[in-house]
Amino acid sequence: MALKKYFPVFVLPTLAAFTIAFAVPFILGLFLSFTEFTTVIDAQWVGIANYIRALSNDDFINALWFTVRFTVVSVVTVNVIAFALATLLTKGLKGTNIFRTAFFMPNLIGGIVLGYIWQLIINGVLRFFDVTITYDPKYGFWGLVILMNWQLIGYMMIIYIAGLQNIPTDLQDASKVDGASRLQTLRNVTIPLVMPSITICLFLTITNSFKLFDQNLALTAGAPSKQTAMLALDIYNTFYGRIGWEGVGQAKAVIFFAIVAVISFIQLALTRRREVEQ
Amino acid sequence: MKRITAVLLSLAVVLTLAACGKKDDNSDMNAPKAGTVYFLNFKPEVADIYKEIAAEYKKEKGVDVKVVTAASNTYETTLKSEIAKADAPTIFQINGPVGYKAWAGYCEDLSDTKLYSYLTDKNLAVRSGNGVYGIPYVVEGYGIIYNDAIMRKYFALKDKAVSISKATDIKDFETLKAVVEDMTKHKKELGIDGVFASTSMGSGEQWRWTNHLASVPVYYEMKDESDDSTIVSTLGKKEIGFEYSKNFRNIFDLYLNNSVTAKGLLSGKSVDNAMAEFALGKAAMVQNGNWAWEQISGVSGNTVKAEDIKYLPIYTGAEGEEKQGLCIGTENYLAINKNASAEDKKASVEFLEWLFSSEKGKDYVVNKLKFISPFNTFKDDEMPADPLAKEILSWMKKDVNNLEWTFNSFPGQQFKDDFGNALLEYVQGSKDWSHVESAFRTSWKNER
Arithmetic mean of pLDDT, A78-94: 89
Sign of CA dihedral A82, A83, A85, A89: positive
Check pLDDT > 70 for residue B4: no
CATH number at residue A266: 1.10.3720.10
Arithmetic mean of pLDDT, B106-110: 92
Classify residue B17: in a domain, yes or no.
no
- Between CA B136 and CA B340 the distance in angstroms is 21
| pLDDT given for residue B124 in this prediction | 82
Classify residue B13: in a domain, yes or no.
no
Query: Would you call A38 and B103 a contact, using CB atoms and an 8 Å cutoff?
Result: yes
Quote the strand ranges of chain A, DSSP E. 35-36, 44-45
Query: Would you call B424 and A224 a contact, using CB atoms and an 8 Å cutoff?
Result: yes
- Chain A interface residues facing chain B, Cβ-Cβ under 8 Å? 2, 6, 9-10, 12-13, 16-17, 38-42, 119, 123, 127, 129-136, 221-226, 237, 240-245
- Between CA A176 and CA A189 the distance in angstroms is 11
| pLDDT given for residue B24 in this prediction | 43
| Pair B116, B127 in one domain | yes
Give the CA count within 13 Å in the CB-facing half-sphere of B414: 21
Classify residue A107: in a domain, yes or no.
yes
Query: Would you call B424 and A6 a contact, using CB atoms and an 8 Å cutoff?
Result: no
Considering its fold, how many domains does chain B have in total? Answer: 2
Query: Which residues from B are below 8 Å from A127, CB to CB?
Result: 265
Arithmetic mean of pLDDT, A57-80: 92
User: Best of A243, A245, A248 to disrupt the B interface by mutation (most B CBs within 10 Å)?
Assistant: A243
The minimal CB distance from A9 to the residues B6, B267, B428 is found for B6
User: Best of A6, A14, A18, A135 to disrupt the B interface by mutation (most B CBs within 10 Å)?
Assistant: A135
Q: Would you call B145 helix, strand, or coil by DSSP? A: strand
Per-position b or e across B178-211, b if 16+ CB within 10 A of its CB: bbbebbbebbeebebbbbbbbbbbbbebbbbbbb
CA-wise closest residue to B166 among B180, B154, B182: B154
Q: Would you call A29 helix, strand, or coil by DSSP? A: helix
- Residues with Cβ < 8 Å from B116, sequence gap 6 or more? B110, B122, B125, B132, B135
Query: Would you call B267 and A226 a contact, using CB atoms and an 8 Å cutoff?
Result: no
The minimal CB distance from A10 to the residues B10, B421, B424 is found for B10
Burial class (CB in 10 A: 0-12, 13-18, 19+), B320: exposed
Burial class (CB in 10 A: 0-12, 13-18, 19+), B4: exposed
Residues above pLDDT 70, as percent of chain B: 93
Classify residue A17: in a domain, yes or no.
no
In this structure, of B27-31, B149-153, B235-239, the range with the lowest mean pLDDT score is B27-31
User: Best of A132, A139, A228, A233 to disrupt the B interface by mutation (most B CBs within 10 Å)?
Assistant: A132
Query: Would you call B424 and A225 a contact, using CB atoms and an 8 Å cutoff?
Result: yes
| Pair B53, B125 in one domain | yes
Query: Which residues from B are below 8 Å from A242, CB to CB?
Result: 412-414, 447
Among B378, B405, B439, give the residue marking a domain's end.
B378
| pLDDT given for residue A222 in this prediction | 83
Classify residue B244: in a domain, yes or no.
yes
Query: Would you call B430 and A136 a contact, using CB atoms and an 8 Å cutoff?
Result: yes
- Between CA B287 and CA B329 the distance in angstroms is 16
| Pair B373, B348 in one domain | yes
| Pair B124, B145 in one domain | no
Query: Which residues from B are below 8 Å from A240, CB to CB?
Result: 76-77, 80
- Residues with Cβ < 8 Å from A209, sequence gap 6 or more? A67, A70, A71, A74, A75, A148
The minimal CB distance from A242 to the residues B412, B425, B428 is found for B412
Distances in whole angstroms, Cα of residue B32 to Cα of each of A1, B68, B85, B96, B366: 52, 20, 20, 33, 31
**How does pLDDT run across B158-177, given as a tens digit for each residue?**
999 999 999 999 999 999 99
Arithmetic mean of pLDDT, A21-41: 87
Classify residue B235: in a domain, yes or no.
yes
For residue A111, the tally of other CB atoms under 10 A from its CB is 17
Classify residue A66: in a domain, yes or no.
yes
- Between CA B436 and CA B418 the distance in angstroms is 9
B403: phi then psi, degrees, rounded to nearest 5: -85, 150
Arithmetic mean of pLDDT, A245-249: 88
| Pair B208, B304 in one domain | yes
Classify residue A71: in a domain, yes or no.
yes
The band of B156, judged by pLDDT with boundaries at 50, 70 and 90, is very high
The band of B267, judged by pLDDT with boundaries at 50, 70 and 90, is confident
- Residues with Cβ < 8 Å from A72, sequence gap 6 or more? none
The helix-helix angle for A111-126 and A137-165 (nearest 10°) equals: 130
CA-wise closest residue to A196 among A174, A167, A155: A167
**Domain range spanning residue A145?**
58-274
- Between CA B21 and CA A2 the distance in angstroms is 31
Strands B140-147 and B283-289: antiparallel
Classify residue A205: in a domain, yes or no.
yes
| Pair B254, B186 in one domain | yes
By the CB < 8 Å criterion, does B145 face chain A? no
The band of B298, judged by pLDDT with boundaries at 50, 70 and 90, is confident
Q: Give me Rg for the CA atoms of chain B.
A: 25
To the nearest whole angstrom, how far is the Cα of B125 from the nearest Cα of chain A? 21
User: Best of B430, B442, B446 to disrupt the A interface by mutation (most A CBs within 10 Å)?
Assistant: B430
Check pLDDT > 90 for residue A67: yes
Classify residue B250: in a domain, yes or no.
yes
CA-wise closest residue to A230 among A251, A240, A215, A241: A215
Check pLDDT > 90 for residue A276: no
Query: Which residues from A are below 8 Å from B268, CB to CB?
Result: 119, 123, 132
Classify residue B346: in a domain, yes or no.
yes
| Pair B280, B366 in one domain | no
| Pair B262, B133 in one domain | no
Arithmetic mean of pLDDT, B88-102: 88
Strands B324-329 and B401-403: parallel
The minimal CB distance from B76 to the residues A17, A127, A240 is found for A240
| Pair B249, B275 in one domain | yes
| pLDDT given for residue B7 in this prediction | 57
Range among A187-196, A269-278, B418-427 with highest mean pLDDT value: B418-427
- Between CA A202 and CA A186 the distance in angstroms is 18
- Between CA B356 and CA B3 the distance in angstroms is 63
Query: Would you call B6 and A242 a contact, using CB atoms and an 8 Å cutoff?
Result: no
Classify residue B184: in a domain, yes or no.
yes
Pair B300, B325: CB distance under 8 Å? no
Pair B285, B144: CB distance under 8 Å? yes
Arithmetic mean of pLDDT, B137-159: 93
The minimal CB distance from A40 to the residues B84, B414, B418 is found for B84
Classify residue A180: in a domain, yes or no.
yes
Longest CA pairwise span in chain B (Å): 98
To the nearest whole angstrom, how far is the Cα of B239 from the nearest Cα of chain A? 18
| Pair B304, B155 in one domain | yes
Terminal Cα distance for chain B, rounded: 69
Range among A40-49, A86-95, B235-244 with highest mean pLDDT value: B235-244
User: Best of A4, A38, A128, A238 to disrupt the B interface by mutation (most B CBs within 10 Å)?
Assistant: A38
**How does pLDDT run across B384-425, given as a tens digit for each residue?**
888 899 899 889 888 889 998 999 889 888 899 889 989 999
CATH number at residue B192: 3.40.190.10
To the nearest whole angstrom, how far is the Cα of A42 from the nearest Cα of chain B? 9
In chain B, the residue whose alpha carbon lies closest to the alpha carbon of A40 is B84
Considering its fold, how many domains does chain A have in total? Answer: 1
| pLDDT given for residue B10 in this prediction | 57
Classify residue A8: in a domain, yes or no.
no
Classify residue B18: in a domain, yes or no.
no
To the nearest whole angstrom, how far is the Cα of A216 from the nearest Cα of chain B? 12
| pLDDT given for residue B5 in this prediction | 59
| pLDDT given for residue B8 in this prediction | 57
The minimal CB distance from A135 to the residues B101, B413, B428 is found for B428
- Between CA A193 and CA B174 the distance in angstroms is 76
**Domain range spanning residue B189?**
141-328+394-447
The band of B27, judged by pLDDT with boundaries at 50, 70 and 90, is very low
Classify residue A160: in a domain, yes or no.
yes
Query: Which residues from A are below 8 Å from B440, CB to CB?
Result: none
| Pair B126, B208 in one domain | no
